[in-house]
Amino acid sequence: MSIDEPLVRVEDLEKYFWENDSIVDRLFGDEAVPVRAVDGVSLDIYRGETLGLVGESGCGKSTAGETILRLQEPTDGRVEFDGEPVAELSGSDLQAFRSESQIVFQDPFSSLDPRMTVGSIIRQPLDIHGVGTTEQRRERVRELLERVGLAADQLDRYPHEFSGGQRQRIGIARALALEPDFIVLDEPTSALDVSVQAQVLNLLDDLQNEFDLTYLLISHDLSVIRHVCDRVAVMYLGEIVEVGPVEALFEDPKHPYTQALLESVPRASTDERERDRETLAGDVPSPRDPPSGCRFRTRCPNVIPPDELDLDQQAYRAIMTLRERVERRDISLESVGDDGQFDPTSGGIPEEDIPEFVETLRTRLLDTDLPPRHDRIVDEALAELADENWDEAATRLREAYESVCERKQPTLENGDHPVACHLYTDGSDPFAETNPQL
């Protein structure tokens, strides 16, 4: 393999989990619903590097790592290891891949069998792959224990006799037993005390240099990522939205989601104690029904309005939030007004009362002033709710305010620092004064 070729190449990887897919569900005609845990992930991991994979909890990071190793069978896509397609491996070829790629799990308390001694846990990969004689395996276990900072005479002890940091060292020793080339580190320090985290990270760094290891480090701790990684991939709701060299990504984050993640990191400097931190709006959408187009658009502070609109981001965001509530029918119409004088659910609102109903509803749902043109469009949509015409109200708002962010899915473009965001599709600075969209 060429030195410029990735050791691990991931192309359009998908992993779906299906609900309502049992025999009983099919008998009753229930439609299977996919949970899109990993949805079109593409990554290159080069020999000897550490690639960080970051994102909020539940974004699909761990599932992606397990699917790359084929601990989970992929729904679609392609994973190549050293040029070989992993999904097509079987028999001795699959066993060889298992010996060359390993994982260190997040929880050192549940990832070790409490009924097995430490020596048996570390020796198990050697037993499965038939490496060496019994004495050679025992000697290999003693060497690994010492290499990860534990005493060789502890091999007959059980996991409950060790601290959390020591258990994670045991997990690392197990992963090293077969001398792999590639290791997925799934939140390897998140369950450990801060003082122990640094020791484990330093150990992983030393082992990488000593054994020429390649790491995929999955973490939500951005300080760990910056300290350890060479490149970083940012994941949101099953998709990669930005990839770049670690310093470039931390110093010049491009995707609004990456910017929000970095903004949320606590600062140690007292100079920044008065800074205003802008937190993300809204909740993470469900992977069962992700938003169309850009999946981050429901929380993004920089959604692109249609070109002809003369609206600032705050006003446009408020209208988009209103529209989303109308589409979800997430507005109570049973008692509109202080004394509940308007109730469309009891037969509609008399025509002469519709203007007052609209004004009352609008005051409740919108907390920003709009230019007259947009006041009129919003009022026309809310008037449809006087007769519970939800679809008509949603259509009116969609026709006026639909964004490219929801019509078209952004792609992760090529380059040293690609980003999947419509703000960058023309290669310009999205925050420059000359940008007509913002």
pTM: 0.86
Whole-angstrom Cα distance, residue 86 to residue 70? 8
Say if residue 250 is in the same domain as residue 346: no
Q: Is residue 169 part of a domain?
A: yes
The pLDDT tens digits of the residues spanning 27-67 come to 666 777 899 999 999 999 999 999 999 999 889 999 999 99
* Residues 320 and 230 reside in one and the same domain: no
- Please report the pLDDT score of residue 413 as a whole number: 75
In a domain, 48, yes or no: yes
**Number of domains the chain contains:** 2
DSSP summary character for residue 147: H
Which residue, among 213, 43, 178, 212, has the nearest Cα to 98 in the 3D structure? 178
- Quick check: helix, strand or coil at residue 134? helix
Is residue 363 in a domain? yes
The residue among 230, 263, 296 that closes a domain is 263
What's the domain range around 346? Answer: 313-402
Q: For residue 306, is it within any domain?
A: no
Angstrom CA distances, 56 to 59, 72, 187, 325, stand at 6, 21, 12, 24
Structure tokens, 208: 């990488």
Give the residue from 228, 263, 298 where a domain finishes: 263
The residue assigned the tokens 């509940």 is 340
Instruction: For Cα atoms 132, 135, 138, give the angle at the middle one, nearest 5 degrees.
Output: 90
- Starting from the edge strand earliest in sequence, which strands make up the sheet with 76-81, in order? 33-45, 8-19, 76-81, 84-85
Ordered strands of the 231-236 beta sheet: 101-104, 182-186, 214-218, 50-54, 231-236, 239-245
Task: Give the pLDDT confidence score for residue 427 in this predicted structure.
Answer: 40
Q: Does the residue 434 lie in any domain?
A: no
Q: What is the CATH number of the domain that holds 158?
A: 3.40.50.300
Same domain, 32 and 153: yes
Residues contacting residue 60 through CB under 8 Å, at least 6 positions apart: 15, 37, 38, 39, 41, 235, 237, 238, 287
In a domain, 62, yes or no: yes
Residues 115 and 249 in one domain: yes
Same domain, 336 and 192: no
Among 257, 314, 192, 237, smallest CA distance to 36 is for: 237
Residue 358 lies in a domain: yes
Evaluate whether residue 357 is within a structural domain: yes
In angstroms, the CA 174 to CA 126 distance is 9
DSSP state of 271: G
Catalogue the E-assigned strands of 21-116. Answer: 33-45, 50-54, 76-81, 84-85, 101-104
End position of a domain, from candidates 244, 263, 282: 263
**Residue ranges of the chain with pLDDT lower than 70?**
1-3, 21-29, 266-279, 281-282, 337-340, 414, 426-438
Residues 323 and 230 in one domain: no
The answer to whether residues 119 and 240 belong to one domain is: yes
Say yes or no: 327 and 252 in one domain. Answer: no
Residues 132 and 56 in one domain: yes
121 and 51 in a common domain: yes
What 3-state class would DSSP assign to 294? coil
